[in-house]
């Protein structure tokens, strides 16, 4: 039951942060910080409402899941994808948290991995996996090349 609650916190953390970010236009960092402050303050002032295991892990899961909710609307815009990323994040965190002991950035790294998994699903569903990836890489390189050439022209004036 406690694990189920942590998975639910992961889903709520990612979707609520994204919702506050996009609906109320508070920005990614502000929406993550505000929701994390509310959850952490509640557990700080009322630690005996839940078990010690949940009181210890809910803030960490929520903070990491809120990193997922900071994703841009142009990259991931479905709540199903955000929820699935929250589930993947919680799974990664629960199974690897003992390996990250003492290392900074475990929450952000786990959130990044879970987002990359969700964002890579369309490429694996495509029958032309390599072609689509190469076209996107070429498009990105060409954009950067155009910006760099414009800058060099502007600097020489």
Residue spans of alpha helices (H) in the chain: 2-23, 28-45, 52-68, 79-96, 106-125, 129-156
| pLDDT per position as a tens digit, 143-155 | 766 655 555 545 4
| pLDDT per position as a tens digit, 21-48 | 999 999 999 999 999 999 999 999 999 9
Contact indicator for 65, 98 with CB cutoff of 8 Å = no
Instruction: Collect all residues with Cβ–Cβ distance below 8 Å to 21 and sequence separation of at least 6.
Output: 27, 28, 31, 32, 69, 70
Q: What is the rounded CA–CA span in Å between residue 11 and residue 6?
A: 9
pLDDT at residue 148, rounded to an integer: 55
| pLDDT per position as a tens digit, 56-99 | 999 999 999 999 999 998 888 899 999 999 999 999 999 987 77
pTM beyond 0.85: the answer is no
Hey, how many other C-beta atoms are within 10 angstroms of the C-beta on 51? 13
């Amino acid at each position: 039951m406690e694990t189920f609650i942590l998975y639910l916190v992961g889903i709520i953390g990612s979707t609520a942060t994204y919702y506050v970010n996009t609906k109320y236009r508070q920005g990614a960092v502000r929406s993550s910080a505000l929701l994390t402050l509310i959850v952490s303050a509640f557990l700080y002032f009322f630690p005996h409402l839940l078990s010690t295991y949940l009181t210890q892990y809910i803030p960490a899961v929520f903070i990491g899941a809120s990193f997922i909710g900071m994703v841009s609307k142009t990259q991931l815009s479905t709540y199903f994808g955000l929820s699935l990323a929250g589930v993947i994040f919680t799974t990664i965190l629960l199974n690897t948290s003992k390996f990250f002991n003492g290392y900074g950035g475990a929450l952000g790294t786990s959130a990044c991995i879970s987002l990359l998994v969700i964002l890579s699903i369309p490429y694996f569903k495509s029958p032309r996996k390599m072609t689509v990836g190469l076209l996107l890489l070429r498009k990105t390189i060409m954009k950067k090349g155009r910006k760099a050439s414009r800058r060099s022209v502007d600097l020489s004036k």
